[in-house]
């Protein structure tokens, strides 16, 4: 009934009477119905979970490379007591959890070394003297060594590198590292091997063979 009344009103509006008694028609402008805008469906991708121990190296590479890269130029310095020490030939960084890593190409040791606060570090071997650092981890891609003796801080004399934020990756030399809330993961492209550094322990990928370590080393894995 409402539709019929509206139509009648439109017809009446379309006709007007003139003073000479003849009916004149007024042209009506048709009303174009409005269209409701529709938005295209949005798709979201679920971030990959951090790789657990024992997964193939391809999964570790994919996860590390998924993170947007940090600017490597920001990590050629070490910070010590408010002083910035330039490291033109090396890279240094620290994770939010406190793991500190550094290369030492300047002194012929380009492999990555990290200091990790392990809850259960390897015990000092009886034939080792000096300052035992059970959380010192050396990773050159071909093997992983956990725990060693150091008479001084070595490369870490320069201090610690800038913080590598969660969710970022850092590429340098043959390495790429990424950190999340649970651990630091570092990949060596040349040897297709990787290490997970966390307080709970050191896990390896493609380095599953544990061997008798050389003198002065706590634990060693061959990649």
Phi, psi angle pair for 154, to nearest 5°: 60, -130
The whole-number pLDDT of residue 139 equals 97
| Regions of the chain with pLDDT less than 70 | 1-47, 208
Instruction: Write down the mean pLDDT value for the chain.
Output: 83
Provide the CA 208 distance to its chain's centre, in angstroms: 24
Q: What is the DSSP string of the chain?
A: -HHHHHHHHHHHHTEEE-TTS-EEEPPPPPPPPP----PPPP--PPPPPPPPTT--HHHHHHHHHHSPBP-GGGGSEEEETTEEEE-TT--EEE-TTS-EEEEEGGGTEEEEEEE---SSPPPPPTT--S-EEEEEEEE-SSEEEEEEE-SS-GGGGG-BPPB--TT-EEEETTEEEEE-SS-EEEEETTTTEEEEEETTEEEEES--EEEPPPTTEEEEEE-
pLDDT at 151: 74
The tens digit of pLDDT for each residue in 12-28 reads 444 444 444 444 444 44
User: Can you tell me the distance from the alpha carbon of 73 to that of 92, in angstroms, rounded to the nearest whole number?
Assistant: 11
Structure-token match 């706590």, residue found: 218
- Give the global pTM: 0.77
- The 3 state secondary structure assigned to 64-96 is HHHCCECCHHHHCEEEECCEEEECCCCCEEECC
Q: Report pLDDT for 47.
A: 64
pLDDT value for 202: 95
């Amino acid at each position: 009934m409402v539709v019929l009344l509206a139509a009648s009103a439109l017809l009446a509006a379309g006709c007007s009477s003139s003073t000479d008694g003849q009916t004149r028609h007024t042209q009506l402008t048709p009303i174009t119905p409005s269209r409701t805008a529709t938005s295209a469906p949005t798709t979201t991708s679920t971030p990959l979970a951090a790789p657990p121990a024992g997964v193939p190296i391809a999964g570790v590479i994919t996860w590390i490379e998924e993170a947007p890269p940090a600017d490597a130029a920001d990590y050629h310095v070490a910070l010590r007591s408010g002083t910035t020490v330039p490291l033109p030939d090396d890279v240094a960084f620290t994770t939010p959890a406190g793991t500190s890593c550094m290369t030492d190409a300047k002194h012929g040791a380009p492999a990555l070394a990290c200091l990790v606060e392990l809850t259960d570090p390897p015990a000092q071997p009886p034939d080792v003297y000096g300052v035992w650092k059970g959380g010192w981890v050396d990773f050159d891609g071909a093997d992983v060594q956990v725990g060693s003796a150091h008479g001084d801080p070595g490369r870490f004399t320069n201090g610690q590198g800038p913080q590598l934020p969660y969710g970022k990756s850092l590429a340098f030399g043959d390495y790429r590292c990424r950190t999340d809330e649970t651990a630091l993961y570092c990949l060596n492209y040349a040897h297709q091997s990787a290490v997970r550094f966390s307080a709970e322990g050191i896990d390896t990928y493609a380095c599953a063979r544990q061997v008798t370590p050389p003198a002065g080393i706590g634990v060693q894995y061959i990649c």
